[in-house]
Structure 1
Amino acid sequence: MFRVAESLGHHLRVMPQFLLLGVVLFQAPTSLAAQDLLYVASQEEVTVSVIDTKSNELLETVDLKTLGFTESAKAHHTAVEPDGSFWYVSLISAGTVLKFDRQNRLVARANFEAPGMLSLDPTSDRLYVGRSMAAVNPPQRIGVIQRSSMQIEEVDVFFPRPHALAVDPHGERFFTASLGQNTIAYAPLGVEEVDLYNIDGTTHTLVQFALSPDGDWMVAGGQLSGDLLIFDLNNPQPTLVKSIPIGGQPWHPSFSTDGTTVWVPN
């Protein structure tokens, strides 16, 4: 894992300190600051672990198999309401997104082929859903769930295998990218017509985005290229400003809460 920090030139650079070498697969945790809880999906176990981040205590393991899902359902990614009232998990092979309440009771679901990454719009009722990288040829669309009703609509993105997914923390835009080509789709939240941004050069296979807390920057890890790509979001179109070779397969970068550091597992 590499630590990336903000330089004086207002770009991001890889720090020389080597912290940890590891591989992050499909278990993508989501934290809930107000409750100090962490929801961690285990794809192999088909469970979601609920962890108290203050005490580092495992509070509960929600076994989705007890709800009728098979051992191959593949719990993939989680998202949590800002007030902690509900949380969501995508199940790749089951083709569904589940909604649970604060007491970890299943209350609703939305069907969607091969759901992958989830990104919640904290300013509205929308939850965005990408496609899993396990799906070889899924529809060229992402899902938009109305969280209160769990009704889902699909938005055309016009490229294969839309996987990387992120929502602007200020509720302005969403971003998604193809695993098969260097293309990013973006649009204002709630809009169904996207614009496309193409990146020249070798195929990166952008696995996932992370946006800075102020919404000015976006980073993405390139599985095939081994590069961390840095985008400036201060203009209507995202602009690639720097590509940092870090090696390995950088998948799921994360910004620190103050926006000065990016952690990149590879």
Structure 2
Amino acid sequence: MLLKEEKILLVDDEEGILTLLEITLKKERYQFITTCTTGQEALSLVKNQVYDVILLDIMLPDINGLELCKQIRSLTHAPIIFVTACSSDFDKLTGFGIGGDDYITKPFNPLEVVARIHSLLRRQHLLRSLPAEKIEKKELRFGPIALLPDDAILVVGEHRLECTAKELDLLLFFFRNPNRIFTSSQIYELVWKEPPQYGDEKTVAMHISKIRKKLESNPKSPEVIINLKGIGYKFVPPVQGELR
């Protein structure tokens, strides 16, 4: 049986949760698992080791997990899954807004957490394979905007902007579907790869808002990713034509 090479960091102040998750992940053949119980220790680990996915508790003893996420995001593009007892829309959207990729609430089934980790890692592998399989040049470009999937970089004019894993997923979706209208539910199902539930349209709106801040000269009056009221979203490239 082949062991999985991905490196996973688990950050939670409850030792019992860390032990349970580590045991479950090892049963799924993940062998490189690091655990820690404080934010400062997590930050030190991320500075010295490359991780493929990070599971992050919001309620840590020394630093709020949301603030820690901001610091971690400046060091790595690795997907971040928040684990917390806070389940309100505000907490969820705040987490997405500062660079989180997924969100799961306590109490949880450890198998669900492992499934979320596996899903994010699978998407990462898919994104890494796309340029070699689908693109002659390792970029997707419409006029002055370009997407570099391998580097998780969005180029707007002369500016190179870093993207989170979920921003990259969403940008790839729009770049491959220009001038087509999609509802929030369709976008969620096609990008998040799971059926939408109540409130998920807010998740889509939050991520699109973040992308607009990078793409648009005036995010409050968007011209690239436009919202057709009551219908959905449409990606309108600044220069019409074939993707190259």
Q: Please confirm whether the aligned pair reaches a TM-score higher than 0.5, indicating the same fold.
A: no
TM-score by length of 1: 0.24
Q: Which has the higher strand share?
A: 1
TM-score by length of 2: 0.26
Higher relative contact order (CA 8 A, sep 6+): 2
Larger Rg: 2
